Structure formats: structure tokens, C-alpha cells
Amino acid sequence: MGLLTVSGVVAGYSAADEILKGVDFSLDESEIVCVIGPNGAGKSTLLKTIAGLLKPSKGDIRLNGESIAGLAARAISRRGLAYVPQEHNVFPNMSVAENLEIGGFVDRHRLAPRMARAMERFPMLARKRRQAARTLSGGERQVLAMAMALMVEPVVMLLDEPSAGLSPAAAELLFEEVRTINRTGIAIALVEQNASEALAVSHRAHILVDGKNSRSGAADALARDPEIKRLFLGG
């Protein structure tokens, strides 16, 4: 039994709009597992369903062996799962410190030590703690969004397109932060359009096509597969 398991999940944005058509997914402790595939494959929908923003109409989702399918997002967060959306993932007019406080709001009694750990882990945020989030660069905002998610001390982090809109240099730095977070023992499910970077940073990968599982396996093996290279890696 994996840390996070998704079994035969069907979900969408309405009863007549099934985006996920029986998807399976698994994530073990301390793993990074990426989800790649063409636009419209259901990658982001999968993360939203795991996080509780969408309710599956069929199938099951288990975290540490406990079913979380259909629970409210806050209840899922309290069980140790943090979700970082692609967009609108920080409060631009609030300071860096205020954003972190909001990230830890579900457990206000432990806010101060968690804030201190976040500032120690991300020195850039400590230096800019009083600045409005809107003044940060794109890469810095993504780091802030991940730091906000870490404020709940998750066992699983879901990252939806973290490198979207970033320069290659900023994306490279961001993926190094992802590796650093993973080295602390946090398992990460990563949805990415940048398939080559996603495979490079991940232990395993799932490929979705049209809301269904297409391929899965070790990330390095998939990165070397000629068909995968042709379809997703531009080679």
C-alpha cells in the first residue's frame, strides 16, 4: 500500500463532463512522481481531485491507507496533504510573512515555529519578508507558494505546473528547490508541461492521455524510451 493511492477515479467539472476516466496513480514515501501528457489529458484535474477541490464520481483515493475521496479540501489538508495550484497561489498585495501566516492558518497554535523554519529554509523569503508578494519575481513567487504549503508540515505535496511562465534559469532553480524539499522526506506529485525537466527530477512517472493511464514506470527509463521522446520530449 503506497502513501497515496488513486484507484479507478472518474471525475470532472460536471456530471456530463468526465475528464478523468478511471485513472490510477500511486506515490510512495519520499518519492517524486510526475504526471505528464498532452494538454487536456486531465493532469491538473487529477491533482484537484486528490486535493478535494473536485469530488470523484467513482473510484477511491487513499492517504496513509485512509480514504480521503470526497472529503473537503481543508479536512484533506489537515491529514497532511498540501496542494500548490498553478495560478493564484499567493496573495499579491500581502507581504511574504503574511502569506506564510495564511499558509499555516489551519494550525495557528504552531504558527511561530513553523514561520521560523520557513524563513530558515528559504533565506530569500526571510530577506523579503516585509515585501508585498507582487514584488517578487515569478520564480520567487513559486518558492513562496511552496513555502506556504509547507506551513502545514505535509507528508505529500501536490505541485501543479510550478515552472509555467518561468525562464529556463528560473525553472532550473525552482526544480532544485523541489529536490531540496523532497530530500526532507516529503513525497511530491508533480504535474508539468516541461516533460524533460519533470522526468529528470522524478523517480517515477505516469503518462495520461485523454483522461486515462497510458504509460507508467521509472522516470529515467521513460525519458530514454524512443516513443516517449518523440511524443513528449521533442526528440
The model's pLDDT over 42-55, given as tens digits with 9 standing for 90+, comes to 999 999 999 999 99
Does 143 share its domain with 158? no
Whether the per-residue pLDDT at 108 is higher than 60: the answer is: yes
Does 117 share its domain with 221? no
Across 99-127, average pLDDT? 85
Does 57 share its domain with 119? no
Does 75 share its domain with 173? yes
Measured between its terminal Cα atoms, the distance across the chain in Å is 36
Does 68 share its domain with 8? yes
Does 96 share its domain with 201? no
Asked which of 106, 128, 148 is the last residue of a domain, the reply is 148
Length of the chain: 235
Q: What kind and span of H or E run contains 31? A: none
Whole domain around residue 140: which residue ranges? 89-148
Tell me what pLDDT residue 191 has: 96
Q: Are 57 and 11 in contact (CB under 8 A)?
A: yes
Asked which of 148, 163, 181 is the last residue of a domain, the reply is 148
Whether the per-residue pLDDT at 234 is higher than 70: the answer is: no
61-92 CB burial, b ≥16 within 10 A, e <16: bbbbeeebbebeeeebbebbbbbbbbeebbbe
Asked which of 99, 117, 148 is the last residue of a domain, the reply is 148
Tell me what pLDDT residue 107 has: 65
Does 71 share its domain with 41? yes
Global pTM reads 0.91
Whether the per-residue pLDDT at 110 is higher than 80: the answer is: no
What does the pLDDT look like over 137-178, one tens digit per residue?
999 999 999 999 999 889 999 999 999 888 899 999 999 999
> What is the CATH number for 215?
3.40.50.300
Question: Domains in the chain: how many in total?
Answer: 2
Task: Classify burial at 55, counting beta carbons within 10 Å of its beta carbon; exposed 0-12, middle 13-18, buried 19 or more.
Answer: exposed
Does 116 share its domain with 218? no
Does 136 share its domain with 164? no
Does 31 share its domain with 120? no
